[in-house]
Amino acid sequence: MASPPSERVRVRRLPKRGAYDRQTIDAILDEGLVCHLGFVVDGEPRVIPTGYARDGDRLLLHGSRSSAAMRVLAGGGPACATVTLLDGLVLARSAFHHSMNYRSVVVLGTGVEVVDVAEKLEALRVLTDHLVPGRSADARGASASELALTTVVALPLDEASAKVRVGGPVDDAADHDLPVWAGVIPLALGHRSPIPDTEVPPGGPAPTYVTSYRRP
């Protein structure tokens, strides 16, 4: 286990669940689809779900130029982006030791707006391909006006930590003989067969990256 890059992101509660190596952090970020982006407005917290993508050593975020989150981040306000993958419900013999299996990453930092047009187009490509790898080769890219309506912000991964719980329940020894079933109900985000656009039916069949869709 690597050391935390800063005191701010050190996992304090249940520190043995903390991890700071980029391999662990990157794998969680690359599997997730939505981050919960925290920012501060008038001293109060706001948390919104939003898409993201990891691009090397930074997290890319995007949104409408007029969104509160993008205005705060592009303005240099502090941010916290949290990605959580839920892996199971952990049923212990005691209510107290009930838990969840999960893998989460918290990224703290300050965003940098991506303004260079070529870099912004590339960031949008990475964001599209994070959702559906391969999609950017087919979808029409952003026009100049779409680009102007969109703010892209990069959040460096300098201050990031992962927290992971795996495995079964951990009961107190005194509870081991209780006549209570204990174990895990595994959970996972799954996908079903793609549904073609019903308003304007597409002219051809779904591409392989859609029919064989899976998260990394």
d(CA 53, CA 45): 23
If one asks whether residue 216 binds a second copy (CB under 8 A), the answer comes out as no
2-28 as b/e: b if 16+ CB within 10 A: eebeeeebebeeeeeebbbeeebbbbb
d(CA 29, CA 32): 5
Q: Quick one: tokens of 56?
A: 């090397």
Output DSSP code: residue 2: P
Residues 130-159 that bind a second copy (CB under 8 A): 131-132, 135-136, 138-143, 146, 150
If one asks whether residue 40 binds a second copy (CB under 8 A), the answer comes out as yes
Q: What's the min distance (Å) between Cβ of 3 and a second copy?
A: 20
If one asks whether residue 120 binds a second copy (CB under 8 A), the answer comes out as no
- Residues that contact a second copy, how many (by CB under 8 A): 95
Q: Which of 3, 7, 66, 144 binds a second copy (CB under 8 A)?
A: 66
If one asks whether residue 55 binds a second copy (CB under 8 A), the answer comes out as no
Residue pair 88/184 in contact (Cβ under 8 Å)? The answer is: yes
If one asks whether residue 39 binds a second copy (CB under 8 A), the answer comes out as yes
Q: What's the min distance (Å) between Cβ of 86 and a second copy?
A: 6
